[in-house]
Amino acid sequence: SAVISQKPSRDICQRGTSLTIQCQVDSQVTMMFWYRQQPGQSLTLIATANQGSEATYESGFVIDKFPISRPNLTFSTLTVSNMSPEDSSIYLCSVDRGGQTEAFFGQGTRLTVV
Amino acid sequence: QKEVEQNSGPLSVPEGAIASLNCTYSDRGSQSFFWYRQYSGKSPELIMSIYSNGDKEDGRFTAQLNKASQYVSLLIRDSQPSDSATYLCAVKRAGGTSYGKLTFGQGTILTVHP
């Protein structure tokens, strides 16, 4: 397994502002992902954070709204930009070593936009 | 048709009973299958992974996979009130552009009552 530290754990933000969420892993991992969990819903993949290159976004998610950085194999950030109340969700960082291995999740960031 | 579909809940079982959770998936390229448990306000916690057809047992938990029927299930024996949570079925492809990505079912809420 991997120890994943995600912060902040929660935040309340004003609409129109941006929040950057950090994800730190205790060892190098091949793949890092960012998921969103809207209230009462399951997890939806936002993007794959690629080390040294631009993130790969899923349908319905765009870089201008959710810019992602991954400067090395142990760290990534997700920014939620120009927030609206609809962005109120839990955002989760996930790591996977590839192949037939399990994915593990950070503690999540509970975001409320007012 | 949803890519990953779980049996509708919520599911309520008495303490000591067997809880049966079911999941079907549509993508025949799926290679890895997972069950996560999520307590309210917490991030998903991996409880079982299965990669080959058949049964896999771990303590009170048994995962069953049938790739021909595109079906995966989780049995919880001797259910305890502490098992009350949302159970998420997740499926992963082995390669291609979806490499490493998890697709989640909508989740099944399980309540174990004393």
Cβ-based contacts of A101 with chain B (< 8 Å): 32
Q: Is the pLDDT of residue B98 over 70?
A: no
Higher pLDDT, B2 or A42: A42
pLDDT at position B1: 65
Cα–Cα dist B44/A7, whole Å = 16
- pLDDT grade, residue B93 (50/70/90)? confident
Contact check, Cβ <8 Å, B106/A102: no
From B31's Cα to the closest Cα of chain A, the distance in A is: 8
Decide: residue A6, CB within 10 A, 0-12 exposed, 13-18 middle, 19+ buried. buried
Q: Which of A41, A45, A105 sits opposite B44 (nearest CB)?
A: A105
- pLDDT grade, residue A102 (50/70/90)? confident
Phi, psi values for residue B65, rounded to 5°: -130, 135
- pLDDT grade, residue A36 (50/70/90)? very high
A89-96 vs B61-66, strand pairing mode:
unpaired
Handedness of CA A60, A65, A66, A70 (dihedral sign): positive
Q: Which of B31, B44, B100 sits opposite A96 (nearest CB)?
A: B100
Q: For the CA atoms of chain A, what is the radius of gyration?
A: 13
Q: Please, which residues 51-70 of chain B have a Cβ atom closer than 8 Å to chain A? A: 51
pLDDT at position A64: 97
* Residue with the two structure tokens 């929660």: A10
- Arithmetic mean of pLDDT over chain A: 93
- pLDDT grade, residue B86 (50/70/90)? very high
Q: Is the pLDDT of residue B109 over 80?
A: yes
Provide the percentage of residues in chain A whose pLDDT is more than 70.
Answer: 100
